[in-house]
Chain A
């Protein structure tokens, strides 16, 4: 079963608007990472948030983590057409596991 579930699965916004994507997971995790994928290409790491952190910023990205709700959100502020891509959360399970689970992703379209 999928550990991470992104919501919404697709999002279309105008350039300059903010985009928010959510990720929910089912079991306890250590850390959570967000990745970006341009159409059909390899994923690129965006940001890591540790399980003891609640919020993290990197440039126009803001990630939050709520371990009590088993959810994370990725906010992209002042979006640009170049932000058009799919975004995935990835989790590594706590307890010494090396498996990595990705969600099904949010496809973001930023309209110029």
Chain B
């Protein structure tokens, strides 16, 4: 089954404790992206990756890191989480990114993160 998986689905952690949220897709997609969703703010893009070893900042990259060493995986790293990073996080992938934005994105189920 074609899908995007994220782990963990729920996470409660404390300020400053490094964490990684994993994202994996099995569709051989080139483009992958991370979003956070907050009430009243919609989805905001954190980082995206056009392909292996090619990543770039979205609209809200501060406090996050990503890497794309393999095509299928795109982990999101919070080196020192803070309470303002409490949010619902989504990973998404699409066949390609690019200027024409013509490929639909497939979303993972989400990771609900609470930082105390």
Bind each other:
yes
Interface residues on B, range: 20 to 34
| B41 and A104 contact, CB distance less than 8 A | yes
- Roughly how many angstroms separate A43 CA and B88 CA in the complex, as a whole number? 12
Q: Which of B63-71, B78-86, B104-112 contacts A (4 or more CB under 8 A)?
A: B104-112
In the assembled complex, how far is the CB of residue A44 from the closest CB belonging to chain B, in whole angstroms?
7
Count of inter-chain pairs, beta carbons less than 8 A: 81
Q: Check if B48 is an interface residue, CB within 8 A of chain A.
A: yes
Across the interface, A88 reaches (CB within 8 A) one of B43, B50, B56, B99, namely B43
A43 to B45, CA, bound (A): 14
- In the complex, the answer to whether A94 meets B42 with C-beta atoms within 8 Å is no
Going nearest first, the 6 A-B pairs with the smallest beta carbon separation are A92-B101, A42-B107, A104-B42, A45-B104, A102-B43, A98-B97
Other 13 A-B pairs with CB < 8 A, given A31-B100, A92-B101, A105-B42: A4-B42, A31-B101, A32-B101, A33-B101, A41-B110, A45-B106, A48-B104, A90-B105, A91-B101, A92-B99, A92-B100, A102-B42, A104-B42
